[in-house]
């Protein structure tokens, strides 16, 4: 029963994160890069496949599903409300995505693929970290903190038999946790 409740909370907090992000895009408070978001959808697909094929926990699969659907939603909204810039960061993340795809084609290494996807996500997130470091008001506390809570719950419910089972939620717990702390500086 306890696990069932945690799964529901992961679902609620994870979906709420993307609802907050979507609302901010619709109301003009946030304009994501369309090209970054297209790449991030492919990274999310790649990550999701990596989670499943590397033996991720049920909570990791649930979080990966939310991440995938959320990124698809943000990408769709970016077609209407996003900026159309393709810079060095997009080139780096696209390159890492292509390397990851080549690994899928030539090797059976889903965990390596997942790690490359997460690294590409981190590289793609550097401009966001930089922007929020300079001006904490540029990012949403709600968006980052809700996905942080969802990721934290996903790690919490894991049995910790192997790091590969929780690498996805652990990464997002750290990534979104740091972003949450940076956005708190505006208060």
Q: What is the pLDDT of residues 3-24, one digit of tens each?
A: 889 999 999 999 999 999 899 8
Q: Do the Cβ atoms of 99 and 149 come closer than 8 Å?
A: no
Structure tokens at 124: 């793609």
pLDDT tops 80 at residue 164: no
Whole-model pTM: value is 0.86
Task: Examine the pLDDT at 126 and tell me if it is beyond 90.
Answer: no
Instruction: Report how far apart, in Å, the C-alpha atoms of 117 and of each of 51, 99, 110, 126, 164 are.
Output: 11, 10, 10, 15, 14
Alpha-carbon distance of 162 to 142, in angstroms, equals: 31
Residue 48, pLDDT > 60, answer yes
Map tokens 């080549």 to a residue.
102
Average pLDDT, the chain: 86
CA distance 141 to 150: 14
Q: What is the per-residue pLDDT across 70-85, written as a single tens digit (0 to 9) for each?
A: 999 999 998 887 667 7
Instruction: Return the pLDDT at 96.
Output: 84
């Amino acid at each position: 029963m306890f696990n069932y409740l945690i799964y529901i909370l992961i679902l609620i907090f994870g979906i709420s994160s993307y609802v907050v992000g979507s609302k901010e895009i619709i109301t003009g408070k946030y304009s994501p890069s369309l090209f970054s978001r297209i790449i991030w959808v492919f990274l999310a697909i790649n990550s999701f496949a990596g989670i499943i094929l590397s033996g991720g926990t049920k909570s990791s699969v649930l979080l990966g599903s939310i991440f995938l659907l959320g990124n698809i939603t943000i990408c769709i909204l970016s077609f209407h409300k996003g900026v159309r810039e393709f810079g060095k960061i997009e080139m780096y993340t696209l390159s890492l995505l292509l390397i990851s795809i080549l690994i899928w084609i030539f090797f059976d290494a889903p965990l390596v693929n997942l790690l490359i996807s997460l690294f590409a996500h981190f590289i793609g997130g550097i401009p966001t970290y930089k922007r929020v470091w300079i001006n904490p008001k540029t990012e949403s506390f709600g968006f980052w903190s809700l996905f942080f809570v969802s990721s934290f719950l996903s790690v919490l419910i894991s049995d910790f038999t192997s790091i590969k089972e929780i690498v996805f939620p652990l990464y997002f717990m750290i990534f979104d946790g740091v972003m949450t702390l940076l956005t708190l500086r505006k208060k």
